[in-house]
Structure 1
Amino acid sequence: MRLFLVLLLCLALATCSTPVPQIRILQPATAELAGRIRFELVSPAQAVDGELPYQERYAQVAPLIRRGLEARGYRATRDAQFRVYYWLAVNDQPLEFKVDQAPPRPLGPYQAIHRLRDETGTLRLRLTDTAGNVLWEGLASTGLSPSWESAELLESAVRALVEQVPAAR
């Protein structure tokens, strides 16, 4: 009986946990990043040509990046030594699950189809010097569905990505 309760508790905890975002470092920190502590956040509209997806989330992302970098020893200022570019990309695709079920009356088999949506977001963070040379770049990929959890999922992706930026020296 105890084993059953332990397994049930483990299953409940596993379903309640937030998935870990996948982080990729596209450009490791260069030597030029060392010694630079003053940064400026650049609007995503200046980093991406065309329409920005998921625009309502940028208001959430910018303060998270700023606080994360400040926690790593950097300072947001107008006379910046480097710039921080960030932008989101969202892949939204339908998911269909077909489940064979027996009919409620003997009319023959039928198929139930469950239609769901899967949203996967990627956040790219790029640190450049004032001339535009890349000092560090990383990418976080995370699921954004179900939609009622997307804010928390995006927040965990931002935190995980900013933690990969080397601490200020």
Structure 2
Amino acid sequence: MRLFIVLLLCLALATCSSQLPRAQVLTPASAELTGRHSFSLIAAEQAVDGDVPFSERYTQLEQLLREGLSARGYRANPQAEIQVYYWLAVQDSPLDFKVEAAPPTPLGPYQAIHRLRDETGTLRVRLTTPAQHILWEGLVNTGLSPAKDSAELLERATQALLQQIPLASQ
């Protein structure tokens, strides 16, 4: 009985543990990033054409980026050497589940098809020079979706992505 309780407790803790989302570096840091320390954040409206999803999260995202870049040795400055573009997007793809079930009546088997949608939010961050040369770019799955939206999901995703940016060199 005690073993069962211990196993159940371990399972509950494993389920509740919050792992950082997996970040993907799209463009590794270029040599031009070395020696650059100042940054300015460029609003998503300037980076993306059309409406941006999760618009209510951009105030939080801006603060998280500012704090995270400062922790990595960069400093905010209007006359910055690095421009930081950031935006949230929704990847929407169909999911089809085909379920063969036992016949409900003597007429024979039938097949049920469940059509669902996978809506997953992503965060993309791009560091560029003022002349728009890409210094670094990364992407992370935020866990956000139109059905599931929270400040905690965005914070974990932002932390995971910012950890991929090289520390500012002195």
Distance 1:94 1:32 in 2: 40
The Cα shift of 1:143 comes to 1.9
Distance 2:145 2:45 in 1: 25
Count of residue pairs brought into register by the alignment: 163
Distance 2:30 2:155 in 1: 26
> Superposed, which structure 2 residues align to 1:87-98 within 5 Å?
87-91=87-91
TM-score, normalised on structure 2? Answer: 0.81
Q: Secondary structure at the match of 1:164?
A: coil
Gaps of at least 5 residues in structure 2 are 100-113
Distance 1:154 1:97 in 2: 29
Distance 2:55 2:94 in 1: 21
1:69 alignment counterpart: 69
TM-score, normalised on structure 1? Answer: 0.81
Distance 2:29 2:53 in 1: 28
CA gap of 1:59–1:94, structure 2 versus 1, over 3 A, is farther
Gaps of at least 5 residues in structure 1 are 100-113
Aligned-residue RMSD, C-alpha:
2.9
Distance 2:95 2:3 in 1: 35
Aligned amino acid, residue 124 of structure 1: R
Provide Cα deviations, 1:124-165, integer angstroms capped at 9, x if missing partner: 000000100000000011322595662211110001101110
1:163 alignment counterpart: 163
Contact 2:90 2:145 in 1 (8 A): no
1:46 alignment counterpart: 46
